[in-house]
Amino acid sequence: MCGIFGVYGHLEAAALTQLGLYSLQHRGQESAGIVAVDDDGRARVSRAMGLVSEGFEDAEMDALQGPIAIGHTRYSTAGASAIENAQPILARVRRSHIALAHNGNLTNAVELRRDLEEDGAIFSSTMDSEAIVHRIARATGESPEARVAAALQGVEGAYCLLVVLDETVIVARDPHGWRPLVMGRIGESYVFASETCALDIVGATVEREILPGEIVAVDAQGLRSINALESAPINRCVFEHVYFARPDSKVFGGSVDRSRRALGRKLAIEQPAPGAEVVFAVPDSSNSAALGFAEESGIPYELALIRNHYVGRTFIQPTQAGRDAKVKVKYNPVRELLEGKSVVMVDDSIVRGTTTRGLVSLVRAAGAREVHMRVSSAPIISSCYYGIDTPHRGELIAAQMSHAELVRHLGVDSLGYLSIDGMLSAMPSGPDGYCHACFSGRYPTPIPADPELLRAGSAA
């Protein structure tokens, strides 16, 4: 997964982009980058591994002059982690430049790449996004947006794009609308971001969503929108609301905090925990859902797990002490709230189950009498090919174990997942138009013939 942010027409475009990326940090911590274009049309790029707050030295930020900037934060995926795969991509061609930041995953990346290579293209990264840059370089059109539209014909899968062609910013969202993308304004300047929380931090007003299939361009000629991509059914990612987006964002037109609260309430109705004395969240992503569960069930909400936010990337030492402390490094229970109690622990999802198992053990060691696990989404049983880095099916614990096995494996007294229907009905605009492939296995489009090949080259 990734976060993208762009500015058109602001004196401090790069500084705003740095702030915007910082508030999208939850969407990717592996690398961060900014491309800025100055008044003379010169593009400059700065990319670094790691966090936004670490990645840009003062001198680099000073060099990123000009009224146009786009930025990108990239999620850490095993193996393909390298500075070569940091975005935005900046290509120089015919005394001009193409910069691109991409959130999503292309499902026909292998075919696109093969076609381009047969036509003479060479690649300097393993990212699917680089194929789009090549296609834009080869495409023609009477306007920058028409050129991008031409380049996107035949590109399949999930993409939200920020593109800079010379001094035009073009943004595009695939016709299925898997990933979110919004537009805002600061005075006369335009701002584009994966989530509204990034508009908030720069003081931009939210204008509207970029629609599925829409291409918007802005430059000295002003802002215009075209609808040149083939239309398709809407498949917004339900997991953005369940887990990925920030609760202070509006995503797909609805408040994430509100949908998580609704998920928690539905969970309490579908999977009650009669006799339980305390409800608590696995902080911070499940706070809203746990509060919803507490409200609906009437069981008191407590802050029973404290999260340590000073986690460093290279922290855990290869000692026994370090291995034993894995989960404890992140969470510590408040014994006074758990001792002798029957408790409900609410989490938003279970992927591999390792953390859940560690937490259950921690909570029991702190004296809980019964541990009732409640999950505010359905069991994850399939991989995602549209931008979320779910692991292989073989590592998805709900795909590998029966309910009874799961209860035993996690060490809980009971385990209750929300149903897919329950989950969808909690979405802001109702149950329709959502992709739930990771929960249902029903992929709304063809997936790659050789998924591993695709994943290796994914820009996420």
Query: Which of these, 290, 301, 440, 437, lies nearest to 376 by C-alpha position?
Result: 290
Footprint on residues 296-315 left by a copy of itself (CB under 8 A): 300-303, 306, 308-315
Question: Which neighbouring-strand residues pair with 97?
Answer: 92
Cβ proximity of 215 and 170 under 8 Å: yes
CB atoms within 10 A of CB 432: 10
> Contact with a copy of itself (CB under 8 A): which of 118, 142, 230, 452?
118
Cβ proximity to a copy of itself: between 14 and 378 the closer is 14
Using the Cα atoms of residue 234, residue 235, residue 236 and residue 241 in order, give the sign of their dihedral: positive
Active-site residue flag, 197: no
Cβ proximity to a copy of itself: between 74 and 436 the closer is 74
Cβ proximity to a copy of itself: between 40 and 118 the closer is 118
Using DSSP, state whether 119 is helix, strand or coil: coil
Using the Cα atoms of residue 321, residue 324, residue 325 and residue 326 in order, give the sign of their dihedral: positive
Q: Is 160 annotated as a binding residue?
A: no
State yes or no: residue 449 binds a copy of itself (CB under 8 A). Answer: no
**Element housing 163 (H / E):** strand 160-165
Q: Is 425 annotated as a binding residue?
A: no
Query: Which of these, 71, 70, 216, lies nearest to 144 by C-alpha position?
Result: 216
Which residue is it, tokens 């508030």? Answer: 23
Q: What DSSP state is assigned to residue 80?
A: -
Backbone angles phi, psi at 5, to 5 degrees: -155, 140
Minimum gap (Å) between residue 433 Cβ and a copy of itself: 21
Which residue is it, tokens 């539905």? Answer: 266
Q: Is 237 annotated as a binding residue?
A: yes
Q: Report the alpha-carbon angle 266-270-272, nearest 5.
A: 100
State yes or no: residue 117 binds a copy of itself (CB under 8 A). Answer: yes
CA distances 17 to 36, 41, 50, 408, 459, Å, are 9, 18, 16, 47, 20
C-alpha–C-alpha distance, residues 454 and 460, integer Å? 11
Footprint on residues 403-442 left by a copy of itself (CB under 8 A): none
Question: Which neighbouring-strand residues pair with 225?
Answer: 216
Minimum gap (Å) between residue 53 Cβ and a copy of itself: 2
Query: Which of these, 378, 400, 380, lies nearest to 390 by C-alpha position?
Result: 380
Minimum gap (Å) between residue 98 Cβ and a copy of itself: 7
With contacts defined by CB under 8 A, how many residues of the chain interact with a copy of itself? 82
Minimum gap (Å) between residue 165 Cβ and a copy of itself: 12
Footprint on residues 227-286 left by a copy of itself (CB under 8 A): 246-248, 250, 255, 257-258
State yes or no: residue 65 binds a copy of itself (CB under 8 A). Answer: no
Minimum gap (Å) between residue 11 Cβ and a copy of itself: 8
> Contact with a copy of itself (CB under 8 A): which of 40, 59, 79, 120?
120
> Contact with a copy of itself (CB under 8 A): which of 78, 122, 220, 404?
122
C-alpha–C-alpha distance, residues 76 and 124, integer Å? 19
Q: Report the alpha-carbon angle 304-310-313, nearest 5.
A: 120
The region of 91-99, 168-176, 264-272, 383-391 touching a copy of itself under the rule CB under 8 A is: 91-99
Minimum gap (Å) between residue 344 Cβ and a copy of itself: 16
> Contact with a copy of itself (CB under 8 A): which of 154, 203, 233, 253?
203
> Contact with a copy of itself (CB under 8 A): which of 76, 332, 361, 419?
332
The region of 123-131, 166-174, 381-389, 408-416 touching a copy of itself under the rule CB under 8 A is: 123-131
Question: Which neighbouring-strand residues pair with 301?
Answer: 279
Footprint on residues 278-297 left by a copy of itself (CB under 8 A): 287-288, 291, 295
Cβ proximity to a copy of itself: between 63 and 232 the closer is 63
Catalytic member of 1, 2, 350, 415: 2
Which residue is it, tokens 């976060």? Answer: 3
Cβ proximity to a copy of itself: between 72 and 246 the closer is 246
Cβ proximity to a copy of itself: between 166 and 395 the closer is 166
Cβ proximity of 5 and 71 under 8 Å: yes
Angle at which helices 144-152 and 129-138 cross, to 10°: 130
> Contact with a copy of itself (CB under 8 A): which of 325, 351, 381, 401?
325
Using the Cα atoms of residue 24, residue 27, residue 30 and residue 33 in order, give the sign of their dihedral: negative
Binding mask 2-21 for a copy of itself (x = CB under 8 A): ----------x--xx-xx--
Minimum gap (Å) between residue 102 Cβ and a copy of itself: 16
Query: Which of these, 301, 304, 420, lies nearest to 365 by C-alpha position?
Result: 304
C-alpha–C-alpha distance, residues 181 and 189, integer Å? 17
State yes or no: residue 443 binds a copy of itself (CB under 8 A). Answer: no
Minimum gap (Å) between residue 142 Cβ and a copy of itself: 18
State yes or no: residue 91 binds a copy of itself (CB under 8 A). Answer: yes
Residues contributing to the annotated binding site for Mg(2+) = 285, 347-348
Residues annotated as part of the active site:
2
